[in-house]
Each structure stands twice: as structure tokens, then as C-alpha cells.
Amino acid sequence: MQLNIDHLLDIEFIGFDEQVLLICSKDSQSIDVWRCFDWTLYKQYWFDEPFEQCSFFSESQSAIIKVTFRTGIIQYLWVGFWRENLNVPIIIKFKFLATLEVKLGDQSIFLNNETDIYYCEGQSYLRFYYFQRPKRIQLKRIQNLPPLNRIVYRCEKNKSLIWLTNESIVIFHSCENHFIIPGVYHYLQICDNDERLFICCLDKNTLRIDIFEWTFNNMIHMYRQLACIQLDQTVSHFTCYFDKDWGIIVNCALENGQLRKYNATIMTYLPVKFATLQENSSLREQIDYFEIQNDFIVTFDQAKCDVNLLTYSNRLSFVMHLRVSNAISQFAINSSYLLVFDCKNRLSIYSICSTPILLFETTEFYNESIKIHSLASSFLIVDGDKQQIFQINTDHPLVLRTITHLKIQCHSLLSTVVPKRAKLFILSDDNSTLTIWDSNTRIIKYLPTLINKSTQINKIYSLSTTIVFHDNRQRIYLWYIDNGNQIITFDHDRLEKEGNCLTLIDPNGNKLFVVHDINKSLYGDIRLEISLDTFCLTEDGKYLFGICQKESLLFMYRIDDRKCLEKIFIDNLSPLLKVSNDCLILLRNNELLLISIIDQDASTLKRNSDGPSKKCILFENEEWLDCHKDEPWIMTSFACTSKKS
């Protein structure tokens, strides 16, 4: 079957087990009935002249047809089909109902299978045409209504009409009364779920979508607002979907062509929402880079002269701002002090407080020859030129002390710390020796690495039980702290490490992650639907997060079963990403975003660290649509008194 879509006036499917398709075409003189399962023309109903308009009102196995001819005369017909038994063909019958000689309004809409309603834009009345009644009682006029819009929507569930005025939503019920919901809206959609009725409304001026439920109980009209979504860009189209399990889903098409999906139920009832720090005047500098150290978020501007410290326990809290004269090349933090080393070889230590105080300063070191670490309450400085380790213990008056001389050459400054073991590891320039300094026992050891001297190691990382070496050929070597004689080698393109887990990008393509649990010697892979610019593990190694900046998408994977749990669109998302066990920090439009990570089996959440635990309504309801059941109803002043209601 081929149809010219430009000539179609209306089409309608009717039937359940076996469907037929009704077709009205422009300049045609017939209603065509097509059988769907084999797309054959089954029957035609012919008129004496061509028609210009056609519309249907369908009900299961039948439909009402309205045809407007070029002369202006309107005819109404009934069509139905049925099958007496499975062994005989379906029976299709047409029946003439009525003729309307004069059109009663510019627009019309079926209210039900016996009523057509005519209206004109701007008028305050409706004209009812009951085409299945005797002629003397076919017409009726309902007056004193709010001005009609050009577009009027029909609610199939309870045979109501809905339209928008300049300041409200008007709901005209089949009981012939109406009520209004105040608000300025430009588009609306009517939805239902079981016996519940919903209206979704868009205000294009404020970029807001309001979602209402309405009903009538004991013959009284009532409505309530269930949710509100505040958008940040202009929407051209939107649709709402009401799902028992997942709640209220809103899909939006932006004017720039992007598609977005919102869960209004989660946005309404999640106790810990996005937290941003755009309001703080101290954070109006450009954020070029940030990272997490010792329970602090540290942000830098592009010149690396402005530093901000924040905490992130359930919400982002500003701690301090520091501005220095020269670009910062290295920094380290413990619970009370911030150490910065600038490009002019100035090492400074500041107190961490709202007004930072300079407590210590020295110019003894050169930028290219030292590496700085924070370990417990001390700052450790590895000097490759002097072959020495220095310490500044912040539990005592701040003094620079030499704690040991090194027996190795370490100009490459490949060093790392394992905080839980209170140990510092330094690799020799020839890769042959790993120096281990124990800050608790103050004992230094030199152990062989078993790495070939021709290998060029350029990075070193630490896990809880393993030291990871990274060479210039994109290979990694695992050196076990408790058994230094064992070493394992991997090929990869990119590496992320956390806890006991290594996550590698497969060298043969950036759409495959290889996950390796160091302690359990377990391997697994995660196949991606899209390439990621950044990926990061939670501290416990349970979840992997990744960002695709081009698509502005955030992905969440569970390591145990390699399952993708979430795919979230966040507008203008930067590739910068940092993760702890219970939250992740993102950068968007020069704003830091804090997003809580909630285990699927969690039943409670803490809104803040010093308040009592608060239950999350999302986990109290098996069906998320029930989260909205306690929102208060607003009673209207109109009651249904008609028996027809």
C-alpha cells in the first residue's frame, strides 16, 4: 500500500485482535478500509462528491466518521466491524447518522461518540451538536466560559475538553461545568495511568514544566501539582510518560536539536540533590582544574595562582581561597595545612582556615629536582639532586629536617606514597631498585624491582597492596609490596587505579575496559557504546564512572557484573571527574557539581553529617509513581450535578 502523505486528511486504526485501517484522502470520494494483516483494500464507502475535511472518533471495534464536503455540508457516519466466528471473514458495515447543513464554528472536536462540539477562537461559548439524537434536540449552547483557544484538547478517559488561556488551564468536564488551574502556559499534554489523569504544561517564558493530576471525588473537581522541572534551555517539544515503577518521565527536544530525558520523580524526592557553588563570590574565578586530596576539593584557575579549598560531605562547602604571586607547580594537603611550591622555587605552608595564614616559607629547593608528598601529619620532600628525603612534621613547630640520605640516583623523581601503610616508595633512575621509607619505624629499605633496565618508566602509582609502574610503550608493571619478587605486565592505552582495582583501556580500541582486581587476580571487561574521554573508579572499586564530553553524557558502571547502571545527560559537561565512595564531583559551565552515589540496596540517606538520618521516599515505595500520592489536593468551586457525568 502506498499513500501520498500530502493528500491524507485522516487515518484511524480500529480493532484489537484484528485491526483495520480507515483512510480519508484529499479530493477523494470514498472512505477506504484496509485490512492490516495483509494490507489489502477490504471495503470502500462512496460519496456523491469529493470532500475537503475528514475526522474520526474511534471506540474499539467501531468509529464515528465526520466528512465535510466542498459545499460546506457535513455528514456523520458510523462504521463497525466484527467476526461471527473464526471461519468466516470479518463483517464491515457503514450506517448514515446525520447531516449538518451549516457549520456551527471555525473549529470542532468530538467529545464522545454522540457529540461534536463547535467553537471559534476567542469566543466564550461552545455549541454542542448531538448527531445521534432527533433533530429537534440536536443543538445546545454552553456560555460564560473562559475564551476559547484555537487548539482544544480532548481527554478520552472522562470525556473532557481542555484548553489554555493567557492566564490559566481550563478543564471543561462532560457534566457541563468547568474549572481552571491558574498559570501561564504555552503547551500541554494529557496523560493517564490506570484511572489517574495527568496534565503536563510548559511555560516557555520561564522554561518550566509543571505536572498536575486532576480528578473528581464525590462529584467535586480537584487537582494537585505533583512535580515541577526547571529547564535551562528553550524547549521546542516535550512528552510526559507516567510509569508505575519509574515515576514521571519527561522527554524534551531542545531548539538546538538536543534530546533530554528527565525523571521528575527523582528530581522531586531525592533528598540529596545537585549542589553547586556558583553563588559564592570567592569562586567566580575560572576553574581550569580540580582534584581531591585528603577530604578536600582543590580548584585552580588557568594561571594556577588562585586556589580554592572545599569540603564535600553531602554538600559542597567553601573552606578557603588563596591567591599567590606565581604559578603553583606542586601542592600537598593534610588535615590542617596546605603546602604550595611555585614556579619561582618558593615553598610555602598555610593554615587551612577562612583567612589562611602563612606559617612557613623557604627557597632552598629547585623546581625540577623535588617531588612533594603528604603522609599522615607530615610533608615529605624527595630531592633528586641532593639524594635526600626531607620532612616537615605539622604536629610540631614547622621545621625542615633531613631524615635520610638515598643510596640511589633518583633524578626522575618517580615516587609515590601508600597512606595506609605510612610508606614512601622511590624508584631509581635505572629501574633496578625500589627504595621504601617507613615513616612509623623510620627504617629505609632497598629492594630489587626485576624490571629490565632498558625499560623507560615514566610514571609510578600506588594501590593498597601494589606499586604500579608505567612505561613509555603504554605497558604497566605490577610490583607487589608484600612479595616484591612477583611482577605482572599489561598492555593498555590509558589507566585508572583505585583501591585494589586497575581499569585499563584496551590498546586495540577505546570502547573496551579491562578491569583487574589485584587481590583476587580477577579480570573482566566492560564494553562501551561510546568512547569516553575520562573514567574514574570509586575508592572501594565498586563503580566506574566515565564522561563523553562530545555527547555531554555521564556513564555509571558496576564493576561486579559490568552492567551500565546510569547514562545521564548534563549540559556543557567538562571531562574533569573525581570520585569518592559516596559521591562524584563534576565541572559544568565553571560550576562544581556534587552528585551522591546511592547503592541500590540502600534504604536511608543522610542529608548532612550532623543531622539525623532521613528516609528517602524513593526507597519507601516499590512503585515510584506512588511517591506523589501524598501531595495535597486543591478543591474547586464546581461540582458535577449532571447525571451524564
Describe the strand order of the beta sheet including 328-333 as a list of residue ranges. 328-333, 337-342, 347-351, 358-362
Amino acid at 292: I
Whether residues 155 and 97 share a domain: the answer is no
Q: Which residues pair with 379 in a beta bridge?
A: 374, 392
The predicted pLDDT at position 341 comes to: 96
Q: Cα separations (Å) of 253 from 7, 233, 377, 502?
A: 28, 10, 53, 39
The predicted pLDDT at position 104 comes to: 92
Rg (CA), the chain: 35
The predicted pLDDT at position 357 comes to: 93
Instruction: State how far the Cα of 112 lies from the Cα of 134, in Å rounded to an integer.
Output: 17
Q: Which domain covers residue 163, as residue numbers?
A: 151-268+616-645
Domain end (from 69, 103, 137): 103
Q: Is residue 203 part of a domain?
A: yes
The predicted pLDDT at position 326 comes to: 93
Whether residues 170 and 258 share a domain: the answer is yes
Whether residues 95 and 180 share a domain: the answer is no
The predicted pLDDT at position 203 comes to: 93
Q: Is residue 588 part of a domain?
A: no
Q: Which residues pair with 504 in a beta bridge?
A: 495, 514
Using CA of residue 598, residue 581, residue 504, residue 332, what is the dihedral sign? positive
Whether residues 86 and 181 share a domain: the answer is no
Q: Is residue 295 part of a domain?
A: no
SS3 sequence of 226-283 = EEEEECCCCEEEEEEEEECCCEEEEEEEECCCCEEEEEHHHHHHCCCCCECCCCCHHH
Count of CA atoms in the C-beta half-sphere (13 A) of 482: 6
Whether residues 167 and 255 share a domain: the answer is yes
The predicted pLDDT at position 639 comes to: 47
Whether residues 14 and 87 share a domain: the answer is yes
Residue 46: count other Cβ atoms within 10 Å of its Cβ. Answer: 8
Tell me the whole-structure pTM to 2 decimals. Answer: 0.53
CB 414 within 8 A of CB 370: no
Q: Is residue 406 part of a domain?
A: no
The predicted pLDDT at position 502 comes to: 64
Whether residues 98 and 167 share a domain: the answer is no
Whether residues 98 and 156 share a domain: the answer is no
| Residue matched to cell numbers 565553571 | 590
Residue 416: count other Cβ atoms within 10 Å of its Cβ. Answer: 18
Q: How many independent structural domains does the chain possess? A: 2
Name the helix (H) or strand (E) containing 618: helix 617-620
Identify the segments of the chain with pLDDT beneath 70: 1-3, 16-18, 27, 85-87, 218, 270-285, 314, 484-524, 599-616, 619, 637-645
DSSP 125: -
Instruction: State how far the Cα of 334 lies from the Cα of 398, in Å rounded to an integer.
Output: 14
Q: In a 10 Å sphere around its CB, with 0-12 CB exposed, 13-18 middle and 19+ buried, how is residue 245 labelled?
A: exposed
Phi, psi of 406, rounded to the nearest 5 degrees: -100, 140
Cell of 429: 633512575
Instruction: State how far the Cα of 20 lies from the Cα of 34, in Å rounded to an integer.
Output: 6
Amino acid at 487: I
Q: Is residue 457 part of a domain?
A: no
The predicted pLDDT at position 208 comes to: 92
Q: In a 10 Å sphere around its CB, with 0-12 CB exposed, 13-18 middle and 19+ buried, how is residue 450 labelled?
A: middle
Q: Is residue 129 part of a domain?
A: no
- Nearest Cα neighbor of 568 from 545, 590, 589 is 545
Whether residues 250 and 179 share a domain: the answer is yes
pLDDT in tens, 385-410: 999 999 999 999 999 999 999 999 99
Whether residues 172 and 95 share a domain: the answer is no
Whether residues 155 and 223 share a domain: the answer is yes
Q: In a 10 Å sphere around its CB, with 0-12 CB exposed, 13-18 middle and 19+ buried, how is residue 209 labelled?
A: buried
SS3 sequence of 542-593 = CEEEEEECCCCEEEEEECCCCEEEEEEECCCEEEEEEECCCEEEEEECCEEE
Domain end (from 103, 138, 171): 103
The predicted pLDDT at position 610 comes to: 38
Q: Is residue 290 part of a domain?
A: no
Distance of alpha carbon 171 from the chain centroid: 33
Domain end (from 64, 81, 103): 103
CB 618 within 8 A of CB 265: yes
Instruction: State how far the Cα of 526 lies from the Cα of 545, in Å rounded to an integer.
Output: 12
The predicted pLDDT at position 644 comes to: 45
Q: Is residue 349 part of a domain?
A: no
SS3 (DSSP) at 421: helix
